[in-house]
Structure 1
């Protein structure tokens, strides 16, 4: 049977009077996963939250995989909503990457799967188009622009997945991990751990996110490489 495109489907109210749509289903899935986590998400729970039979979801999405990819792409779109080009390719790349990072941290439960998937959908396509375009603007050749974008975005999404995992920890767990840098590492004896003893006052820095320092290091290297190409 030929699948009817979503935009051509007739919207009909469910038994509870709710009119289903792609946007409503994706928004409700987001709320459920934000609240309960991706592992606990089921179409049965989604149907209950929508006030519809779970099978109704499959009129809009072939399977759960398609729904989750649509949700991941929606978040990319939201992360790009306020992004605007400034004319400075390095600053724009930095902001583009941080948009993706901040989106993951706003939805840490969704980041558990969204940071490792390729949606292949319009919002992701636009984000990749923008990132690769900025690197081409900087003067990199085609293959180098793609490699550098891959390095940048995977670095940022890797940090996003790590920091989102930390955000999913219980507050007591996070606090214990933060204290460990001072209590467990800061008190190590100088004769056995001379380097850690020397930097002991700065070890609490390890409790924070390293995403911006990592991004700035990469961008500094890219700016240096781009400047070298101009000479």
Structure 2
């Protein structure tokens, strides 16, 4: 796969044609993974693994993140995540909506991190200089929030941002579960 991507634009187009490289990335996400039996732990682990695989293949990930192949590793991934969500007792329609939100967030953020990693070194330095140079220099009179938070803004890493976004989504899943949890018998008899 790495040779394919490094081969040039024509080879990159093959990602859009056959999906075999997407299959390989998904296979790597699940390679060695064992479910814990806890939906939140498992989704967190799968999300973190997805990011690690995509960032390790920064040229491939953005090209294939939005593709759907219907191939075995992809359908195994969908079956696994849908199963984890259904195991929580979510109604099927909510489980599907939540599945899509989880997958889109995980793929989107991972592809964004991978694309940033694929930038030429000079572009990455320029971006870092903007965070470390331009943002802290903004006057508090016109940019009070940036001025107050500039030291914190420069400390946040892509990995940290991904994990925060992942936890926000998982928190949303928890809220959905609580919202759709059947009421206890005590409440139903009152």
Tell me the TM-score normalized by structure 2.
Answer: 0.86
Count of residues in Structure 1 that have an aligned counterpart in Structure 2:
181
More helix per residue: 1 or 2?
2
Q: Equivalent residue for 2:187?
A: none
| Offset, 1:215 | 0.8
- The answer as to whether partners of 1:34 and 1:108 remain within 8 angstroms in 2 is no
| Offset, 1:230 | 4.6
Moved segments of 4+, more than 6 Å:
none
Bigger-Rg structure (1/2): 1
Q: Is 1:197 equivalent to 2:147 in the alignment?
A: yes
Q: Equivalent residue for 1:49?
A: none
- The answer as to whether partners of 2:138 and 2:146 remain within 8 angstroms in 1 is yes
| Offset, 1:173 | 1.5
Aligned in 2, Cα 1:138/1:110: closer, same or farther, shift over 3 Å? same
Instruction: Give 3-state SS (helix, strand or coil) of 2:29's partner.
Output: helix
Which blocks of at least 5 consecutive residues in structure 2 are unaligned? 184-190
Distance 1:149 1:101 in 2: 17
Aligned in 2, Cα 1:33/1:195: closer, same or farther, shift over 3 Å? same
- What value does the CA root-mean-square deviation take over the aligned residues? 2.2
Q: Is 1:211 equivalent to 2:170 in the alignment?
A: no
Distance 1:88 1:94 in 2: 10
Aligned in 2, Cα 1:134/1:185: closer, same or farther, shift over 3 Å? same
Q: Is 1:100 equivalent to 2:50 in the alignment?
A: yes
CA displacement 1:41-87 (0-9 Å, x = unmatched): 289xxxxxxxxxxxxxxxxxxxx812xx1121122112111211101
Q: Equivalent residue for 1:35?
A: 6
Highest RCO, 1 vs 2 (Cα 8 Å, sep ≥ 6): 2
Alignment of 1:57-76 (within 5 A): 65-66=17-18, 69-76=19-26
Distance 1:42 1:198 in 2: 43
Tell me the TM-score normalized by structure 1.
Answer: 0.72
- The answer as to whether partners of 1:132 and 1:145 remain within 8 angstroms in 2 is yes
Equivalent of 1:130, from 80, 84, 100?
A: 80
Instruction: Give 3-state SS (helix, strand or coil) of 1:87's partner.
Output: coil
Instruction: Give 3-state SS (helix, strand or coil) of 2:59's partner.
Output: helix
Which blocks of at least 5 consecutive residues in structure 1 are unaligned? 1-29, 44-63
Distance 2:12 2:147 in 1: 50
